[in-house]
Amino acid sequence: DGGITQSPKYLFRKEGQNVTLSCEQNLNHDAMYWYRQDPGQGLRLIYYSQIVNDFQKGDIAEGYSVSREKKESFPLTVTSAQKNPTAFYLCASSTVLLADTQYFGPGTRLTVL
Amino acid sequence: EDKVVQSPLSLVVHEGDTVTLNCSYEVTNFRSLLWYKQEKKAPTFLFMLTSSGIEKKSGRLSSILDKKELFSILNITATQTGDSAVYLCAVDHYYQGAQKLVFGQGTRLTINP
């Protein structure tokens, strides 16, 4: 089955620890994205990548880092510099064709204690 | 600054009612407007609109775009409890060589039996 997987589904960490969220896709999509969603709010773009070994900051990149060493994988690290990391994190992918849609993974809910 | 505004933020109706959700936007390099339904996890795609005045329909759901007035509406007729969800509007635009989505805050729709 083609799709996007994220792991883990729920993640708990102590304040001050870095944590890495996994995102894998087998849709052969070139572009991948990370969003953050807070209660009662829409999605805000953290980082995105259009090709392997290249990525750009989104609207709220501070305190986060990413890598894109493989086309299928786009892990997100939430660092200790992120002031308020507790949120729901969504990964998405798309082709880079005009007027295409993004497909979303199931999300990871991160809680920092 | 690019922005997407949805209204109302929350709506509670009875099963069988018809609802209209609104989405207005101000973005540069508009490509398309998308509607998603989110039921606790990943948003699922509903519609993509690129042309003004052409209604898209899927069962009891329909949507239309007005590119002159910069808004879209999502209609749901004969609502059912399974329609309860957060409905997200997003505008796809071309920014710094990449496709990017700007999301609204979402409308939380609750259908009471």
Question: Minimal Cα distance from B107: which residue of A?
Answer: A40
Q: Taking 80 as the threshold, does the pLDDT of residue A100 lie above it? A: no
What is the overall mean pLDDT for chain B? 93
Which residues, including other chains, have CB under 8 Å from residue B82's CB and lie 6 or more apart? B111
Residue A94 forms contact with B (CB below 8 Å): yes
Q: Which residues in chain B touch residue A30, judged by CB atoms under 8 angstroms apart?
A: none
SS3 B83: helix
Question: Min CA distance, B32 vs chain A (Å)?
Answer: 6
Buried residues in B35-65 as b, exposed as e (16+ CB within 10 A)? bbbbeeebbeebbbbbeeeeebeeeebebbb
Which of the four pLDDT bands, split at 50, 70 and 90, describes residue A83? Answer: confident
pLDDT tens digits along B26-76:
998 888 999 999 997 889 999 999 988 889 999 999 999 999 999 999 999
